[in-house]
Amino acid sequence: MKMKLIIVVLALGLGGCAQGARVDQMAAMPTTALPATSELQHAIQLNSVTGGTTTNPLWMSKVGNPEFQAALASSLGSAGLLANGEGRYRLDAKLEALRQPMMGFDLTVHTQVHYTLTDTKLSKPVFDHQIDSDFTATVGDAFMAVERLRLANEGSIKQNIRTFMDQMIAEFGSAPKVSVTGLRPPGG
């Protein structure tokens, strides 16, 4: 009986506790340059961000609403899209799916987010799309599965935000592509 208890304690200690996704690892930059004359420049007000789930440290890493919202705000701000105060456009984002594997060596997470950008002057949506993205974290990225899953969550959300911004910028006028390095989260 003591041996079983020791094995359980060791397994829990070696397995680690699940941590939620980190904001700085989910923030993204678009690969499409924002034209200097774009009407999106400093014009987007972040409204509601829903669908996230708080991480239970004894179970699996998840993406919470506050973290997703902060990553989205950081991304929009870095890209020159976020308004100071009220903007011409209001953005709502709903994390509709975060599909995670239960186990494996290479862990691929699939995210599905519905983005709605509404023109506040016209009170109508001008961008209303569901964006799907995948990211795989390997044993080379992190040995422990709980850390690998967190990296896959972060990478998938980061790719989702990047794809959203690229599509939105493209719909508001074409611009030349710029080179972006580091599609994988640091440390991953």
Distances (CA, A) of 73 to 23, 138, 148: 10, 28, 25
CA dist., res. 71 & res. 22, Å (int) = 8
pTM of the model: 0.77
Bridge partners of residue 117, in order along the sequence:
91, 127
- What mean pLDDT is predicted for residues 101-117? 87
Distances (CA, A) of 74 to 26, 138, 171: 9, 27, 21
Exposure class string for 63-93: b at 16+ Cβ within 10 A, else e: bbbebbbbbbbbbbbebbbbbeeebbbbbbb
Distances (CA, A) of 56 to 52, 101, 118: 13, 16, 34
Residue type, 165: M
Residue type, 80: G
Return the closest-CA partner of residue 165 out of 33, 67, 52.
Answer: 33
**CATH class of the domain comprising 2-171:** alpha beta
Residue carrying the six token digits 């950081």: 74
Lowest pLDDT segment from 37-41, 74-78, 102-106, 159-163:
102-106
Any idea where the domains of the chain sit in the sequence? 2-171
What is the average pLDDT value for the chain, to the nearest integer? 79
| Statement: residue 175 has pLDDT above 70 | no
Model pLDDT, residue 1 = 60
